[in-house]
Amino acid sequence: MSVERHYQREFVRTFFTSPTAVQGEEDSAKMIRSAAQLRGMQAPDVWVPDNEDATAPSMRKEGIENIIEVVAEHGADFPGEIHPRIVWHRESPATRYQGFKQMLEIAASDTDAIEHIDGFVVPEVGDIDDWKKADEFLTIVETECGLDEGCLSMSVIIESGEAELALGDLREEMGKPANNLERLFLLVDGEVDYTKDMRAMTPTGELPAWPELRHNTSRGASAAGLIAVDGPFDDIRDVEGYRNRMTENRAKGMSGIWALTPGQVVEANTAPLPAKTGSWLIEVDDQTTELESRDGREVAELDELALEELDSGQYRFRVGTNEQTLNEDELREELIDLTAYVPSMSDIVDSMEEFEAAKADGLGAIAMTRSATLVIDEVAISLSKDRMWDEATYQAAQTPISLFQDVYKNRPDQHAELEERYGADIVERTLSVGT
Amino acid sequence: MSVERHYQREFVRTFFTSPTAVQGEEDSAKMIRSAAQLRGMQAPDVWVPDNEDATAPSMRKEGIENIIEVVAEHGADFPGEIHPRIVWHRESPATRYQGFKQMLEIAASDTDAIEHIDGFVVPEVGDIDDWKKADEFLTIVETECGLDEGCLSMSVIIESGEAELALGDLREEMGKPANNLERLFLLVDGEVDYTKDMRAMTPTGELPAWPELRHNTSRGASAAGLIAVDGPFDDIRDVEGYRNRMTENRAKGMSGIWALTPGQVVEANTAPLPAKTGSWLIEVDDQTTELESRDGREVAELDELALEELDSGQYRFRVGTNEQTLNEDELREELIDLTAYVPSMSDIVDSMEEFEAAKADGLGAIAMTRSATLVIDEVAISLSKDRMWDEATYQAAQTPISLFQDVYKNRPDQHAELEERYGADIVERTLSVGT
Amino acid sequence: MSVERHYQREFVRTFFTSPTAVQGEEDSAKMIRSAAQLRGMQAPDVWVPDNEDATAPSMRKEGIENIIEVVAEHGADFPGEIHPRIVWHRESPATRYQGFKQMLEIAASDTDAIEHIDGFVVPEVGDIDDWKKADEFLTIVETECGLDEGCLSMSVIIESGEAELALGDLREEMGKPANNLERLFLLVDGEVDYTKDMRAMTPTGELPAWPELRHNTSRGASAAGLIAVDGPFDDIRDVEGYRNRMTENRAKGMSGIWALTPGQVVEANTAPLPAKTGSWLIEVDDQTTELESRDGREVAELDELALEELDSGQYRFRVGTNEQTLNEDELREELIDLTAYVPSMSDIVDSMEEFEAAKADGLGAIAMTRSATLVIDEVAISLSKDRMWDEATYQAAQTPISLFQDVYKNRPDQHAELEERYGADIVERTLSVGT
């Protein structure tokens, strides 16, 4: 029971933009020509030949011609969806009319490019009435070019306060007979222009984190059956920062992110997939550290921790500057509190199968147990963590599995890499669980 | 001058759910039978016989019979309100019709159960129009069973993006003549299902914190004269985590929380009450520590702090790795910055009385002074903190006092425990201040 | 291309309130009489003779007379705008009628006070319909007193959940023919009363941070072409806390803040201006420290950092407890990751001019390089940080420059201080860039 979606993919991990025409190159279409030939983990779920900000205004006419040529040649074989970005601005009728003409030119071309194009990306939208103007232009393009009404999807970039407010109107407006807003697909945050529109400033010029914007985008997507995508992460070299941002986003229900390079595409295609192997975490002084697994034991080597077994059979245990003397059970309780387990994909499938079996036996809730032997300063302690699973836990745990299933279904070009990552056996079990 | 509330209680601290029918027990009503007999701090402000998620689908028919039987027997003596949770889903007409029949069966029973039931809890609501469907069923139940229209209250669980958006419409919709939404009582967050609906994921499967959802729920409650309640805190053993969550919630204006066990009920009934004794806090490196009170002096024993009086009469003072040489006044200023005071209920009453007297003398603002002697490394320094109180400060300080007064009025079964906690004298003064 | 604003100033840094009538003083108008004579950095952008909370109810009649007298005498020469605060309450018709009479008395006075008054501040507003009541009173005041309809601006204090929700309706309501809401100017948060209205509580009585409220106010201002202002910062002695709050606010697009004293006015007038000199920051363990510039080298003296050049030509580099041996390039990479640069106003102007020149040459994006020599433990390492600038970066960087230009245009009384701060040459270049 979820909101009905009007598109195929349930999840989009990657939104990859490429300049449509680059000045001073022998082949101005060079960037999109190479992007169109990406495959596997390097190929995005959604590829965006970008005829707006990534392309100089003087090159955009040529950019449209390049899109037509490259998509006509490579579109049929591209493993992801193709959504060119055209120009648009809520405050400029001239720019909006340009955007319309760009879409029409692509759709009306005598190549078959439009057959490989899944939709268009409309930047700089304003109120919901502005979204309807773009929607109407798409309807006209479809009619003029003999396409089915509503067959082209529309994604928007949220980069103004007005557009953020419009996220609250979507669900209500999408049903109205006078528009075709059911064609909506992605809600993408554009934090650079949003920052400008909000007139926000930071000392170093770094972008603000905008947690409320991301929440509202994710919620708008959830309420209207759409997909939320975060904006570009400018510091391409900072892979760890990009991963942290994605982890934060997923906790907000935003599973996709913009990618600026094939390297970022690989990161962003991989990050939302369930872990390959499970791992134990320990949290000390608000810092979380992954324990190292050695011979089936989880070893914590942290200056902040010290553990010693006393002659009395008790333990002296120090966390930061706080030292306690504990018996074995008390020590175990402390360690259970400090640790957490990150399940692997295989672990999640195991738990789901176990719960399904229990449910078939008429049980509503069961305890799932996770055991480990922890080693601190060469002292080993075995412990078990319990978690109650009921129907709601089961369904929440299912999200990463649904994502994996969706990726597998929609991206045959990634099958080999996925099987190499997890093993064919686990992939097979994952594909059949919970469906 | 506050939004008019259509129910008796101004505050709800505790929302305690119990399974209505447990399989494999001799008495399937065992859980609700014992819950119905809770008294004092173990009894919740709102008790929820839970015929939805806490009860297996196959047991829910029996669950309704159990509710009728147990509430008819024990309802008259139960010290809190009783609000059974029925089944509902914004996307399933069959489930909604089931929910209607469950309410009707309880209300139409030939026992007097319905007379002890204050309202119903409706989970999994969607848009405001979905809330109206539940409201309409309640109106029909009332009419069919000869009850006054609007006498049954309705509480909802917010566990979808749509429902979160509906929180913004409440105030406007509640006045409309075609509904009885004035019956609304609690807005309860349901983070497990919300997480699923938002398709959010965390590495360990832990729930995201959802600060924006809690803000929006609290704001919706404030704007519509309702009460906001946070969802279940799963890790029953983690008492400190539960308390931290409640502190966070109260700073958002959300004074109630779900409880899963009588132990959690005690914690959640106690936490929002004003402190029994005042205490001094010191904040070093973003960590707040309570000072230990010894013989009327407040002792700070922290590795991060060092203080030494020099022969010159000056002081060497170290905070973390930052060491300064200061004269007495400078040292005092530093300590005033680092410390804060948590007032006891008696302190708040004192300040309120002092401000009321000043106001009677025509003063708009007065300084309240709080003095203490701090001891660090056996060096003692006396200091005073001033705070300006005006009408707004007075009214904001009144919130915990109003909560206490509301609890005292509505929960005679807790009088003995409250008097034991604070002393009869302070209870009496608290009951008469600010009214 | 930005939302059209119906007022002169693009930015308001300071909102300074003064009691209109103080009991027990020989001259009850003493406070506003001295405030009216503030000049330069001590004078606020918006001055608010406060006939509401800052003035005792019994003194408010006299307060109106004082406003008339003082504004008639000093208003023509006051360098900022003048917006008296009158009484209002969403739940009290009597208070609202009082507010109307206060505005009418000021506007109808036979002095020319009203000619120097730019608008009124309306506290304690509720739903948008309540805002319209205040707007209608202003329209009546204008008509009765022969003023142009809409010439008085209206600013509101957001101090209830209802008013926060109304922020989402503004843009749509402002265009309607039946109101003059285009007169809206400032959206000011009032966290003390908001906290009371939300019934929020903190252990020490300190105000909650309310990040969502500030986001929603800033977004509402952005969407409706208004200016967002944060509420009072009570701890007047805590200058660093006030600065931190303003830095946080600017990252939310809220560039103005309430000031309670001329000292806070100076701080708040200065804080949003671009830095006088650039500086390097280093971030270690989530703590950011400014490096000290000595002889053109940036010196990091932090216990958390240690650097040693080994005989092998490699480096031993410790950050916190994490020690690594690195070659020069690896060390440089680490330092690039740890550092950030805060540009001076002159740096921003340089970058903007450089980008403008590149754009004139047909380039869409260029790399801006920032170089420095860092010194840690007397070991010197030179490094360069690159940042790509495109049109969007350029426009976002422009915000502090636009603010400076707006201040310069509207506050001739601050020219001397601005030129002293930055040098006349840099001021001149700043005034002509990007316009």
Residues B115-124 pLDDT 10s: 999 999 999 9
Contact between B273 and C219 (Cβ < 8 Å):
no
Q: Residue C344: is it exposed, middle or buried by C-beta count within 10 angstroms (0-12/13-18/19+)? A: middle
Residue B277: CA atoms inside 13 Å, Cβ hemisphere, count? 8
More confident residue, A295 or C100: C100
Output b/e per residue, C76-114; b: 16+ Cβ within 10 A: eebbbbbbbbbbbbbeeeebbebbbebbbbbbebeeebb
Q: Tell me how far apart the alpha carbons of residues B173 and B384 are, in angstroms, rounded to a whole number.
A: 50
Q: Tell me how far apart the alpha carbons of residues C401 and C399 are, in angstroms, rounded to a whole number.
A: 5
Task: Compute the Cα dihedral for C50, C55, C61, C66 and give only its sign.
Answer: negative
Contact between C186 and C229 (Cβ < 8 Å):
yes
pLDDT tens for B342-358 read 999 999 999 999 999 98
Name the A residues in 34-93 with CB < 8 Å from any C CB: 53-56, 58, 89, 91-92
**Going by C-beta distance under 8 Å and a sequence separation of 6 or more, which residues neighbour residue C273?**
C345, C400, C403, C404, C407, C418, C421
Record: contact C198-B218, CB cut-off 8 A: yes
In the block, which residue shows the tokens 């596997």?
A40
pLDDT confidence of residue B5? 47
Looking at residues C199-208, what average pLDDT do you find?
94
pLDDT over 60 (residue C4): no
Check residue B124 and give left, alpha or beta (phi > 0: left; psi -120 to 50: alpha).
left
pLDDT tens for B32-66 read 999 999 999 999 999 999 999 889 888 999 999 99
Looking at residues A270-298, what average pLDDT do you find?
92
Q: Residue B385: is it exposed, middle or buried by C-beta count within 10 angstroms (0-12/13-18/19+)? A: middle
In the block, which residue shows the tokens 């890499």?
A417
Alpha-carbon separation of residue C69 from B162, C65, C75, C105 (angstroms): 54, 6, 10, 12
pLDDT over 50 (residue B244): yes
Residue A73: CA atoms inside 13 Å, Cβ hemisphere, count? 13
More confident residue, A386 or B365: A386
Q: Report residue A190 as tokens.
A: 């554009």
Out of C201, C203, C206, name the one closest to residue B399 (CB): C201
Other residues' Cβ atoms within 10 Å of the Cβ of residue C147: 16
Q: Report residue A391 as tokens.
A: 């129907």
More confident residue, C233 or A287: C233
Out of B255, B362, B391, name the one closest to residue C199 (CB): B255
pLDDT tens for B58-109 read 899 999 999 999 999 999 999 999 999 999 999 999 999 999 999 999 999 9
pLDDT confidence of residue B7? 60
Checking DSSP bridges between strand A256-259 and strand A14-19, what pairing results, if any? parallel
pLDDT confidence of residue B392? 82
pLDDT tens for A2-17 read 444 455 778 999 999 9
Among B315-324, C87-96, C159-168, C329-338, the minimum mean pLDDT is found in: B315-324
Bridge partners (DSSP) of residue B283 are: B288
Bridge partners (DSSP) of residue A315 are: A309, A326
Q: Tell me how far apart the alpha carbons of residues B101 and C184 are, in angstroms, rounded to a whole number.
A: 51
Record: contact A199-C253, CB cut-off 8 A: yes
- H or E stretch including B353? helix B345-360
As a residue count, chain C comes to 435
pLDDT confidence of residue A322? 81
Out of B193, B204, B208, name the one closest to residue A252 (CB): B208
Alpha-carbon separation of residue C51 from A167, C58, C65 (angstroms): 39, 11, 11
Q: Which residues from C are below 8 Å from B395, CB to CB?
A: 193, 196
Q: Tell me how far apart the alpha carbons of residues C389 and A264 are, in angstroms, rounded to a whole number.
A: 19
Residue A391's identity, in one-letter code, is E
pLDDT over 80 (residue B310): yes
Out of B160, B168, B192, name the one closest to residue A392 (CB): B192
Q: Would an 8 Å CB–CB cutoff place A175 in contact with chain B? A: no
pLDDT confidence of residue C7? 60
Among A374-378, C34-38, C86-90, the minimum mean pLDDT is found in: A374-378
Looking at residues A265-292, what average pLDDT do you find?
93
Please give the share of chain A, as a percent, with pLDDT higher than 90. 83
pLDDT confidence of residue C373? 95
pLDDT confidence of residue A2? 40
Q: Helix H segments across C36-145? A: 60-74, 93-108, 113-116, 128-144
- H or E stretch including C32? helix C30-35
Residue A14's identity, in one-letter code, is T
Query: C1: pLDDT confidence band, cut at 50, 70 and 90?
Result: very low
Looking at residues A218-247, what average pLDDT do you find?
94
Which of B90, B16, B98, B14 has its CA nearest to residue B57?
A: B98
> Mutual orientation of helices B424-432 and B391-410 as an angle, nearest 10°?
120
Contact between B47 and B18 (Cβ < 8 Å):
yes
pLDDT tens for A162-215 read 999 999 999 999 989 999 999 999 999 999 999 999 999 999 999 999 999 999
Q: Would an 8 Å CB–CB cutoff place C223 in contact with chain A? A: yes
Q: Would an 8 Å CB–CB cutoff place B175 in contact with chain A? A: no
Task: Compute the Cα dihedral for C238, C239, C240, C243 and give only its sign.
Answer: positive
pLDDT confidence of residue A236? 84
Please give the share of chain C, as a percent, with pLDDT higher than 70. 98
Q: Tell me how far apart the alpha carbons of residues C150 and C179 are, in angstroms, rounded to a whole number.
A: 10
**Going by C-beta distance under 8 Å and a sequence separation of 6 or more, which residues neighbour residue B361?**
none
pLDDT over 70 (residue C6): no
pLDDT tens for B226-242 read 999 999 998 888 899 99
Looking at residues B248-274, what average pLDDT do you find?
97
Contact between B275 and B343 (Cβ < 8 Å):
yes
pLDDT tens for B373-428 read 999 999 999 999 888 888 888 988 899 999 999 999 999 999 999 999 999 999 99
Record: contact A400-B201, CB cut-off 8 A: yes
Residue B421's identity, in one-letter code, is R
Residue A144's identity, in one-letter code, is E
Q: Which residues from B are below 8 Å from C195, CB to CB?
A: 253, 396
More confident residue, B204 or B435: B204
Other residues' Cβ atoms within 10 Å of the Cβ of residue B228: 29
Q: Helix H segments across C167-317? A: 170-173, 191-197, 211-224, 239-250, 262-270
Looking at residues A238-249, what average pLDDT do you find?
95
pLDDT over 90 (residue A387): no
In the block, which residue shows the tokens 């970005």?
A85
pLDDT confidence of residue B149? 94
Q: Give the single-character DSSP code of C25.
A: S
Record: contact B204-A395, CB cut-off 8 A: no
Looking at residues B148-167, what average pLDDT do you find?
97
Alpha-carbon separation of residue A197 from A191, B308, B401, C2, C406 (angstroms): 10, 53, 43, 8, 17
Output b/e per residue, A376-408; b: 16+ Cβ within 10 A: beeeebebebebebbbbbbbbbbbbbbbbbbbb
Mean pLDDT for chain A?
93
pLDDT confidence of residue A290? 92
- H or E stretch including B229? strand B227-230
pTM, entire model: 0.95
As a residue count, chain A comes to 435
Q: Tell me how far apart the alpha carbons of residues C267 and C259 are, in angstroms, rounded to a whole number.
A: 9
How near does any CA of chain A get to the CA of B76, in Å? Answer: 31
Q: Report residue A256 as tokens.
A: 């996709």
Q: Which residues from B are below 8 Å from A223, CB to CB?
A: 160-162, 164-165
pLDDT confidence of residue C31? 96
Record: contact C253-A202, CB cut-off 8 A: no
**Going by C-beta distance under 8 Å and a sequence separation of 6 or more, which residues neighbour residue B178?**
none
**Distance of alpha carbon B44 from its chain centroid, rounded?**
11
Query: C401: pLDDT confidence band, cut at 50, 70 and 90?
Result: very high
Contact between B269 and B414 (Cβ < 8 Å):
yes
Q: Tell me how far apart the alpha carbons of residues A389 and A393 are, in angstroms, rounded to a whole number.
A: 5
Contact between B158 and B190 (Cβ < 8 Å):
yes
Alpha-carbon separation of residue B299 from A384, B287, B290, B307 (angstroms): 39, 16, 9, 12
Q: Tell me how far apart the alpha carbons of residues A394 and C385 are, in angstroms, rounded to a whole number.
A: 47
Residue A110's identity, in one-letter code, is D
Q: Tell me how far apart the alpha carbons of residues B22 and B62 are, in angstroms, rounded to a whole number.
A: 9
pLDDT tens for C115-156 read 999 999 999 999 999 999 999 999 999 999 999 999 999 999
pLDDT over 80 (residue C182): yes
pLDDT tens for A38-87 read 999 999 999 999 999 889 888 999 999 999 999 999 999 999 999 999 99
pLDDT tens for C26-71 read 999 999 999 999 999 999 999 999 999 889 888 999 999 999 999 9
